[in-house]
Amino acid sequence: MTKTWLGSGIQAICLVLLTCITSFSQQFDLLLKNGHVFDARNGIDEVMDIGIAGDTIAAIEKNIDTTKARKIVDLLGYFVSAGFIDIHTHVFVGSEIGKFANGINSLSPDNFTFKAGVTTVVDAGTAGWKNFELFKKQVVDQSKTRVLSFINIAGTGMIGKPGEENLGEMKVDEISRLVRKYPEIILGVKIGHFEQPSWAPFDLAIQACEENNLPLFVECHLPDYSLQDQLDKMRPGDIITHSFEDVADRMPVVDDDGIVRPFVFEAKERGILFDVGHGGAGFWFSQAVPAFEQGLWPNSFGTDLHRFSMNAGMKDMLNVMSKYLAIGMPLRDVLTRATWYPAQSIGRTDLGNLSPGHTADIAVIKLEEGNFGYVDAGGNRIRGTQKLQAELTIRAGQIVWDLNGLTAKPFFDEE
């Protein structure tokens, strides 16, 4: 009996030691194998493996030993990118009817981001200094999606008229106070939806930007200011959105002869950044196609995500990206404008790349071949032969979207 007990004890100790050794050797919680990795920042565009430990990218190498990982996902035939960054969204969701700020016109980010490979959104000024704390409490702190913000120069944010035009509530000192309190969230100042003949909101927004070393985000080609005057007032690194809009009361970037206006190229040369800002009315092929052909490419694919745009021509960020594939932009340039370029534009170079040590925000994409239709804000359609689809999205090391069960256990035997 003593020998039997002793033998069993030794076996148990050996099993524990073996388990500890195996656990120690498993450096990665998740290993992504054989995917075509694209990372513009680090110059990677080839098949690589990515090892994830906890919430962090731990290694990116040609061939990582599978014995070092607890879970392995074979991504042969897929593209692997940093999680996408959508710099134009409206996600201050709440109970107010017909409103964007704390309203039902905004969208809860987690419901729509991960299925499009998006891991970071920037809210485009839905909140101002008076309701930013509520926005943070209700949305930023509750979301798995990383939610950042361009704070509105209008004190109450996007509540409609007359609130958005109340000069008395456009307070630079209050914005500066919040930037100091939340520097990791507030990344710029937004001006938009002001239809009075005054440059005061624009000037106050620029003042807030300069005092806090932040970019300006111009959401509309404001009807009472000319497009040229707006671009002339903007500084290098400032962002204009709805760049390819074509509506009656606003001057577009392309003139009636189909030529990009010279002052637009001059603004680009000065460092003004052009965001798509698709939305329900902000993207027209009549502008985007000739602009692209003449070299005016967007710096980012902001979607202007809200309850109307997602059910219209915009749909989601992958649809916007796929439109540019159809227009003729190479895939590597499309991916760059969904990751590294927007990361730089918002001053968050820890995002939009796959550098070891950075948070493991990753989009696994399938490039589908077929016959697809893409629609702009005017109801016009172009045809494309390629479409991007998010197969797997990882946010901070956790699988948050798995379209076809790449990471799931098979129920039936699979050969």
Query: Is the model's pLDDT at 21 over the cut of 80?
Result: no
How far is 71 from 95, CA to CA, in rounded Å? 41
Residue 1: the pLDDT is: 43
Residues of the chain with CATH 3.20.20.140: 83-362
pLDDT in tens, 207-240: 999 999 999 999 976 777 899 999 999 999 999 9
Q: Each residue of 291-320: pLDDT tens digit?
A: 999 999 999 999 999 999 999 999 999 999
Please state, in angstroms and rounded to a whole number, the distance separating the CA atoms of residues 356 and 393: 18
Categorize the per-residue pLDDT at 165 as very low, low, confident or very high, splitting at 50, 70 and 90.
confident
Supply the mean pLDDT for the chain. Answer: 93
In this prediction the pTM is 0.94
What is the location of CATH 2.30.40.10 in the chain? 12-81+388-402
Query: Options 3.40.50.880, 1.10.340.30, 3.20.20.140, 3.40.50.720; which CATH number does 83-362 get?
Result: 3.20.20.140
3-class SS of residue 344: helix
Query: Omega of the bond prior to 252 within 30 degrees of 0, cis?
Result: no
12-81+388-402 CATH fold: Urease, subunit C; domain 1 (2.30.40)
The 3-state DSSP composition of the chain as helix, strand, coil percent (nearest 5) reads: 30, 30, 40
Residue 330 contacts residue 113 (beta carbons within 8 Å)? no
What is the pLDDT confidence band of residue 10, given thresholds at 50, 70 and 90? low
Half-sphere exposure of 100 (CA within 13 A, CB side): 25
